[in-house]
Structure 1
Amino acid sequence: MLQLSVTSLMRALDPLLTYQECIEFRRRVAEACSPQPVTALHLLQNVSPHTRVLSTGLFPLDTSLLGGIRVGTLTELVGSAGSGKTQLAMQMIVQAAAKRQGTIFIDTEQKLSLPRLQDIALEKFAAGAALLLHNDSSVQPSVQDLTTDYYVDPKLVLQNLSVYSPASMDDLTSVLSSMEEEILKRNEEAEKNPDQKFPVRFVVLDSIAAPARRDFAPGSGPQRAAAVMYCSQKLKQIADHMHLAVLIINQVGGSWNSDDKQSDVATRAALGTTWHHCVTTRIQLETASNVPSTELTNGGLASNPLRWASVVKSNIVGHGSKIPFAIDKAGLAANHVVESAN
């Protein structure tokens, strides 16, 4: 209606309104439809710090990131096989659930272990219960206390996690194209049943490199770059419009040398220069090659190689120092033994 001229509007409404009344009518409609400006101070005061970042669950890494990975941007997690990338992603799913936030996990490599995710959630839940009992032994914590202040019941973590397993780049683009609709639907369900349903605030893509490498031959660089750019644009749009954090897992080539100096190949994330500029923040996980690389299997840890995490790209913080960490039953934990040795 606002695109109509006053004369056209008067003809459409004739003889209800005069020319001057049509002008006033258009003015009132425009005033009602236009967004009202707010001050920057008002926006800052009404945004909780927890809504701007999502904790990684690894305190030294959160410190380097000024609280965690940022909402509304793309964060890339790179590292060689066995460095703990998927472990960190699963830990962050539990961290999001602790803030009553749901997750969508896009598993292109079929590496997501739901039993392992459940184990992490159980360990975090038990640690939260023990902390409450330690702080006030006279008060028995209720389930509501735990779900609000510490970690949620593992069933709620899994209940608020959607998993997609696209087998090709076409499948991946199809998932991304329909994701906003699913997020809106899940957010509506969360409003109706906030005790059991969480709004989606976290998206994980594990990984971006797998379908790109599977579907494109070595000579089809431009086509691969176009597909990768489309994925990055959709993820940026989702992160910005839906106000959520996006974590993209990527692979690297190369390996660690015996003197613990990383080769040039190993520092480069897969997919080349085009992809390098698509993300806002890049976290690198590294593993020493002189210790066997292992992951948790069936709840047990055969050995725990030396691992480090570092922020290698960010537009708000500088390159951080290497943070030693270990993987245990509860996920990633700071390796204080290595820290004290340094």
Structure 2
Amino acid sequence: ADFSVIGDGLALAMNAGRSSRRLARVPGLSADLHAAVRQSGLAKCSDLLTLTTLELVDRLDLYLEEVEDVLEAVAAAVAPQPRTALQLLQSKAAGPRPLRTGLPALDAHLGGGLRAGGVTEVVGPAGMGKTQLCLALAARALVDGSGSAARVLYVDNERSFQPARLVQLLRMLVSHGAPAVDPEELAARVCVVQPASWEEYEHCL
């Protein structure tokens, strides 16, 4: 989602993903300005844009003109880029197909499956099949993308990943008319990560 940060006469619509971008990766800043930002202790674009210009003059120990240069570069890095309706239509047509769940009614409700490039949250009480759905989606992603050597990153927070079940699902898909590929070869394209802390989880993402 987009949100606005308004301070000291500066209003910016920031994309939540872009605003978390690290200041060290913002292009268009001189080496001296990058050094000033680094020494200030500010890490992310959102950290900087929530401060007023005068606060930044003090925090960065820079002249007003230099702070304005920093703000301009950071604003350009986080502001959503406008696109025409035609560009949006073309990007949608050229984009990846939705990932089918294998449940026709659910796929129809979702417009063909799970949308690529987004985050889908599956919620439900224990025993409702959330893990099985994730395994089925992993198998479907591998089989549907077998021609492009698709890979899957499976972040297993609960230590509930079932490799035997994944291979079983892959064999079922291949036997029901999917491309003739070796299920175990597809299983080798799944990277399973089991983070032990929130920091490790963030690192996975």
**Matched position secondary structure for 1:90:** helix
**Matched position secondary structure for 1:75:** coil
Equivalent residue in structure 2 for 1:43, among 90, 93, 97: 90
Structure 2 distance, partners of 1:170, 1:63, is: 37
- For residue 81 of structure 1, report the CA deviation from its aligned partner: 1.2
Gap change, CA 1:42 and 1:78, over 3 Å in 2: closer
For 1:96, the equivalent position in structure 2 comes to 141
CA contact (8 A) 2:143 2:173 kept: no
Indicate the percent of aligned positions where both proteins have the same amino acid: 32
For 1:56, the equivalent position in structure 2 comes to 101
Aligned length: 121
Please report the TM-score for the alignment, with normalisation by the length of structure 2.
0.52
Equivalent residue in structure 1 for 2:121, among 63, 67, 76: 76
Equivalent residue in structure 2 for 1:158, among 187, 196, 201: 187
User: Which residue identity is paired with 2:185?
Assistant: L
Query: Is the deviation greater in 96-105 or in 77-86?
Result: 96-105
CA contact (8 A) 2:143 2:174 kept: no
For 1:273, the equivalent position in structure 2 comes to none
Gap change, CA 1:45 and 1:69, over 3 Å in 2: closer
Query: Is the deviation greater in 38-47 or in 52-61?
Result: 38-47
**Matched position secondary structure for 2:135:** helix
For 1:125, the equivalent position in structure 2 comes to 174
CA contact (8 A) 2:153 2:192 kept: yes
- For residue 171 of structure 1, report the CA deviation from its aligned partner: 1.6
Structure 2 distance, partners of 1:3, 1:169, is: 32
Residue 167 (str. 1) matches residue 196 (str. 2): yes
**Higher-helix-fraction structure:** 2
- For residue 78 of structure 1, report the CA deviation from its aligned partner: 0.7
- For residue 61 of structure 1, report the CA deviation from its aligned partner: 0.5
For 1:303, the equivalent position in structure 2 comes to none
Residue 87 (str. 1) matches residue 136 (str. 2): no
**Higher-strand-fraction structure:** 1
Q: CA RMSD in A?
A: 2.5
User: Which residue identity is paired with 1:114?
Assistant: P
**Matched position secondary structure for 1:170:** helix
Larger Rg: 1
- For residue 84 of structure 1, report the CA deviation from its aligned partner: 0.5
Structure 1 distance, partners of 2:156, 2:111, is: 28
For 1:135, the equivalent position in structure 2 comes to none
Residue 113 (str. 1) matches residue 162 (str. 2): yes
Gap change, CA 1:126 and 1:43, over 3 Å in 2: same
Structure 1 distance, partners of 2:160, 2:153, is: 15
The C-alpha deviation readout for 1:190-239, integer Å capped at 9, x for no partner, is xxxxxxxxxxxxxxxxxxxxxxxxxxxxxxxxxxxxxxxxxxxxxxxxxx
- For residue 126 of structure 1, report the CA deviation from its aligned partner: 1.3
Structure 2 distance, partners of 1:41, 1:104, is: 28
- For residue 156 of structure 1, report the CA deviation from its aligned partner: 2.8
1 or 2 for the larger relative contact order (CA 8 Å, sep ≥6)?
1
Structure 2 distance, partners of 1:89, 1:116, is: 11
**Matched position secondary structure for 1:78:** coil
Please report the TM-score for the alignment, with normalisation by the length of structure 1.
0.32
